C-alpha cells in the first residue's frame, strides 16, 4: 500500500548551486533554478551540507512567492561557527568552494533534528518544507533510527512536514529504515544506475512497503553525464574497467539513436519503486539539455540489447 506524498518524475538537486567543486555566481545559480522551473521541474532538493547553507539560501530566494512545488531538505548536520577562521583564506574541505566560516557538526538527536529543520527554514526564508530526509547517517544508524526518525515522525504528525525519509549513497542502511520505520521516501544516490544496480534489494523492499524512491546520482557523479564517457565515478577518477563498460553502453545507445545521459536518466524510472530522478545542475544550459533529453522516448530494444550484451543484468 502506497502512503505519503505524490512525487513528480523529475527533481532538481541543489548541491551544484552550493558551489560543489567550483564556485557558481549568484546570478548563475538563480538562472539555473529559474531554468528548472521553466522546464516544468517541481521538486527541489537541498541540504545544509551543500555549501555550508549556501544552497538552501539560494534555493529559498528563487522559490519565494512560487507555489505548486515540493521542497526537500535534510537533517543530521548542524552548521556552527568554526573557531577563529571567519574571514580567513580557508576553504571548506568537503568538496564545496565556500569559505570555512562554518563547520558541520553531526547531530541525529531529537533536539538536533528539530534545531536543524528550524535553522534550514531560516536560511531558506520559507515557512515550511515538504520532505525532511535524514542525511548520511552511515556512522550513526542506530541513533538515527532511535532518535532522528521519531523526531521527524512527530513533525509529520504535527503537520509541520508532509513526508519523512532518509538519503544516502548506500542501500544497506536505508533498507533498515524501510523495514524498521514508517518512512515515506528514500533518496538513493548512485546505487541504481546504468553502471551500478546494487541497490536493487532496497528498491524491491520499497515496492513491498509502498515507500517511494528518489533516485539521485544517476550519472554516478559524472561518468554517465556526457555522450562520450569520461570524468569521475562516485567523485573520484573513474576506474579503467568502469570507463570501458560505460563506453560499451554508450555504443549500444548510439545504435538506437539515444545518448548516454538520456539513457542514464531514463533507466532508474523503469523500476516501479522509483518515483523521481533528482538531477543537479550548475548552469541553465545543463537544465535545458537534461529536460530535452528526458522528454525523448527510449526504445525498449535498447534495454534488450544491453541485457543481450551482458551490460545490464536485470530487467529494470
Choose among 219, 216, 163, 144: nearest CA to 187.
216
CB within 8 Å of 140: residues ≥ 6 apart:
76, 106, 108
Query: What gap in Å lies between CA 46 and CA 36, rounded to an integer?
Result: 14
Task: Give kind and range of the element (H or E) at residue 264.
Answer: helix 260-266
Catalytic residue among 50, 149, 192, 233: 50
Task: Give kind and range of the element (H or E) at residue 233.
Answer: strand 232-233
In this structure, are strands 236-237 and 232-233 parallel, antiparallel, or unpaired? antiparallel
Q: Residue 249, SS3?
A: helix
Identify whether 69 is a catalytic site residue. no
Taken in order 13, 16, 18, 20, is the CA torsion positive or negative? positive
Assess contact for 267 and 300: CB atoms under 8 A: no
Question: 170: which 3 cell numbers?
Answer: 548506500
Catalytic residues, which ones? Answer: 50
Amino acid at each position: 500500500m502506497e502512503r505519503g506524498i505524490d512525487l513528480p518524475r523529475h527533481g532538481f538537486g541543489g548541491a551544484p548551486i552550493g558551489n560543489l567543486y567550483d564556485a557558481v555566481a549568484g546570478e548563475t545559480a538563480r538562472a539555473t533554478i529559474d531554468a528548472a522551473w521553466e522546464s516544468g521541474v517541481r521538486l527541489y532538493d537541498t541540504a545544509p551540507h551543500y555549501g555550508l547553507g549556501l544552497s538552501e539560501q539560494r534555493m529559498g530566494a528563487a522559490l519565494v512567492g512560487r507555489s505548486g512545488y515540493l521542497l526537500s531538505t535534510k537533517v543530521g548536520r548542524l552548521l556552527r561557527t568554526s573557531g577563529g577562521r571567519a574571514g580567513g583564506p580557508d576553504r571548506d574541505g568537503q568538496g564545496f568552494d565556500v569559505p570555512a566560516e562554518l563547520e558541520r557538526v553531526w547531530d541525529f538527536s531529537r533536539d538536533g533534528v528539530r534545531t536543524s529543520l528550524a535553522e534550514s527554514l531560516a536560511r531558506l526564508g520559507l515557512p515550511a518544507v515538504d520532505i525532511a530526509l535524514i542525511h548520511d547517517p552511515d556512522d550513526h544508524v542506530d541513533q538515527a533510527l532511535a532518535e532522528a526518525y521519531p523526531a521527524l515522525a512527530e513533525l509529520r504528525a504535527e503537520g509541520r512536514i508532509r513526508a519523512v525519509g532518509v538519503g544516502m549513497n548506500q542501500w544497506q542502511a536505508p533498507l533498515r529504515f524501510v523495514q524498521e520505520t514508517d518512512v515515506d521516501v528514500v533518496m538513493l544516490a548512485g546505487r541504481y544506475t546504468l553502471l551500478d544496480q546494487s541497490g536493487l534489494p532496497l528498491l524491491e523492499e520499497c515496492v513491498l512497503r509502498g515507500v517511494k524512491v528518489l533516485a539521485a546520482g544517476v550519472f554516478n557523479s559524472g561518468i554517465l553525464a556526457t555522450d562520450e564517457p569520461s570524468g569521475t565515478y562516485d567523485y573520484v577518477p573513474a576506474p579503467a574497467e568502469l570507463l570501458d563498460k560505460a563506453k560499451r553502453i554508450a555504443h549500444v545507445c548510439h545504435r538506437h539513436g539515444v545518448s548516454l545521459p538520456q539513457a542514464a536518466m531514463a533507466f532508474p524510472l523503469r523500476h516501479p519503486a522509483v518515483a523521481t530522478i533528482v538531477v543537479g545542475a550548475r548552469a541553465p544550459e545543463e537544465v535545458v539539455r537534461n529536460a530535452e533529453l528526458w522528454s525523448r522516448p527510449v526504445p525498449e530494444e535498447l534495454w534488450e540489447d544491453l541485457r543481450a550484451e551482458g551490460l545490464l543484468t536485470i530487467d529494470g
